[in-house]
A and B are shown apart, each in its own frame.
Chain A
Amino acid sequence: MRLGNPLESEQAAFRWVIAVIVGAAFVIALAELVSTTVGFVAALLLGATVAVVGARGAWRMIRGTDEIGGDEANRAEAATPDPEAGRSPDRD
C-alpha cells in the first residue's frame, strides 16, 4: 500500500493513520508480551523509519515537479530575465 503525501489529500492522511495504528499495535504487543524495553526499541526503529520516509517525501515535494518549475531548464529560464516583462504598454 502506497501511503502517499498526508499533507496533500485526506485519503493519504487516512492511510497514514492506519499505518500508525498497525505500528502502535505492534509496539504495544511487544511491550506487553515481551518487555517494555523491547517495545521501546521497536518504537524507536519505527519512528526512525517514519522520519526517513517523511524526510524523503518532503525533499521530493520541495524539489517540485516540472509543472511547478523544479527542473534545470525552468530554473535557468527563471534566472534569465524576460526583456519584455514589466514593460509598460504605453512606454513606446
Chain B
Amino acid sequence: MESASIATAGKPATADHHHHGPPEANQSARIDQTVLGILLFILSEVMLFASFFAAYFFLRVVVGPDTWPPQGIELPVLIAGINTVVLISSSFTVHYALEAIRKGNHDGLKLGLVMTWLLGATFLFIQINEYIHIGFTPRDGAFGSIFFSLTGLHGAHVFVGLLLLTFATIRAFRGHFGPAQKDHLGVEVPGIYWHFVDIMWIVVFMTVYIL
C-alpha cells in the first residue's frame, strides 16, 4: 500500500507548476513547513530524552555495576512488561483508527481512537500504581532520582499524547475527519506522536528494566 505523505497533503498536483524566484514568505525552499515543524519537535524531544539517558548511563558507570540497582531494590520487570504490551497494543489501535479513516470508515476511526485512549490511560494508571508500591522514592540516591526522572519524563509525554488523542476523539465523534490525508491530519499527527511515545517507552523499558 502506498503511504501518502503529509508533505504533499492538500497540495494540488499540477504537472505544469513552475516556481520562479525565492520561496514564499515563512517557508523553506527545501523542506515542507509541516514536515519541518514535526521534524524540529520530534528532534527536540529526542534530544531531551537523550540527555536523560546520558545521565542514566553516567550514573550507572560512576556508581558501579555491582550496586546498580542498589541492594534491596528490585524493579517490577513483570509489571513493566505488561505495561509495555499495553502501550504497544495502543500503537496498533491508533494505526487501526487511521487505516479505518483512510477507507472512510468513521466507526472504525472512533473505535480505534477510544481504544487507544483507554490503553494509554491504563498505561498511566499502572505506572502510577507502580510508583506507589515500588518501595523507593526519587530521594533515595542516584538510582531513585534517575529512575523516577526517566520514567516520569516518559509518563508526562504519555499524558500529553492523551490530551492530543482527547481532542482527536472529540473531533472524530463530531464527524470532522475524512478519507483524504488533508482531511485527517488532526488524527495523523497525534498518531505519529503516539508511535514516537511508544518507541521511547520500548527504549526506556529495555534500558532501565532489562539491561
Q: Using CB atoms and an 8 Å cutoff, list the residues of chain A in contact with chain B.
A: 4-14, 16-17, 20-21, 24, 27-28, 31-32, 36, 39-40, 43, 58, 61-64, 67-70, 74-75, 77-78, 81-82, 85
Contact residues of B between 1 and 55, Cβ < 8 Å to A: 1, 3-7, 17, 19-23, 28-32, 35, 38-39, 42
Give min CB distance, A67 to chain B, whole Å.
8
Contact A21/B88 with A7-B39, A27-B206, A78-B22 known, Cβ cut-off 8 Å: yes
Contact of A17 among B19, B21, B29, B195 (CB under 8 A): B195
Please give, as numbers and ranges, the residues of chain B lying within 8 Å of A62 by CB-CB distance: 30-31
Q: Does B191 contact A (CB under 8 A)?
A: yes
> Is the interface on chain B under 10, 10 to 19, 20 to 34, or 35 or more residues?
35 or more
Please give, as numbers and ranges, the residues of chain A lying within 8 Å of B20 by CB-CB distance: 77, 82
Q: State in angstroms the CA–CA spacing of A14 and B199 once bound together.
A: 10
Q: State in angstroms the CA–CA spacing of A7 and B191 once bound together.
A: 10
Q: State in angstroms the CA–CA spacing of A28 and B85 once bound together.
A: 14
Q: Using CB atoms and an 8 Å cutoff, list the residues of chain B in contact with chain A.
A: 1, 3-7, 17, 19-23, 28-32, 35, 38-39, 42, 88, 91, 94-95, 98, 181, 188, 191-192, 195-196, 198-199, 202-203, 205-207, 210-211
Q: State in angstroms the CA–CA spacing of A43 and B203 once bound together.
A: 9
Tell whether, in the assembled complex, residue B29 and residue A69 are in contact, meaning their CB atoms are under 8 Å apart.
yes
Tell whether, in the assembled complex, residue B211 and residue A13 are in contact, meaning their CB atoms are under 8 Å apart.
no
Tell whether, in the assembled complex, residue B206 and residue A10 are in contact, meaning their CB atoms are under 8 Å apart.
no
Give min CB distance, B121 to chain A, whole Å.
20
Tell whether, in the assembled complex, residue A4 and residue B3 are in contact, meaning their CB atoms are under 8 Å apart.
yes
Q: How many A-B residue pairs have CB under 8 A?
A: 109
Please give, as numbers and ranges, the residues of chain A lying within 8 Å of B32 by CB-CB distance: 68
Tell whether, in the assembled complex, residue B31 and residue A9 are in contact, meaning their CB atoms are under 8 Å apart.
no
Please give, as numbers and ranges, the residues of chain B lying within 8 Å of A61 by CB-CB distance: 31, 35, 39
Please give, as numbers and ranges, the residues of chain A lying within 8 Å of B17 by CB-CB distance: 67
Tell whether, in the assembled complex, residue B6 and residue A8 are in contact, meaning their CB atoms are under 8 Å apart.
yes
Which A residue's beta carbon lies closest to that of B199? Answer: A20
Tell whether, in the assembled complex, residue B4 and residue A14 are in contact, meaning their CB atoms are under 8 Å apart.
no
Which B residue's beta carbon lies closest to that of A78? Answer: B22
Please give, as numbers and ranges, the residues of chain B lying within 8 Å of A75 by CB-CB distance: 29
Please give, as numbers and ranges, the residues of chain B lying within 8 Å of A31 by CB-CB distance: 210-211
Tell whether, in the assembled complex, residue B3 and residue A9 are in contact, meaning their CB atoms are under 8 Å apart.
yes
Give min CB distance, B40 to chain A, whole Å.
10
Tell whether, in the assembled complex, residue B211 and residue A40 are in contact, meaning their CB atoms are under 8 Å apart.
yes
